[in-house]
Amino acid sequence: MATSWQATTIALEMKGEHYEDGVMFRRFNKIVAAPSAAQLKTLGTALAKLGVADQLGDAEVTVKQLVSFDDQEEGE
């Protein structure tokens, strides 16, 4: 069995009274394979500064991997 990275996506939660229900998510596709907490915080903080009274909430990271099953390896 082998796994290979396909894609990573993130959703950054922005908090602010001007958003419906007080939160909004900014989503980004096809980012680096394994973003660090520091990288996520840096991006989120920069985006919050561009908004009106936004504050960074949590970040959701989703990783898509392909798992290959090689039947020949198991049978040999």
Collapsing DSSP states into helix, strand and coil, what is residue 14? strand
Q: Sign of the CA dihedral 22, 55, 44, 51? A: positive
What residue ranges of the chain have pLDDT lower than 70? 71-76
User: pTM of the prediction?
Assistant: 0.81
Domain that includes residue 52, residue range: 2-75
> What tens digit of pLDDT does each residue of 38-59 get?
999 999 999 999 988 999 999 9
- What domain count does the chain have? 1
Show Cβ contacts of residue 73 under 8 Å, excluding neighbours closer than 6 positions.
none
Question: Which residues have CB under 8 Å from 64's CB, separation 6+?
Answer: 5, 6, 7, 8, 9
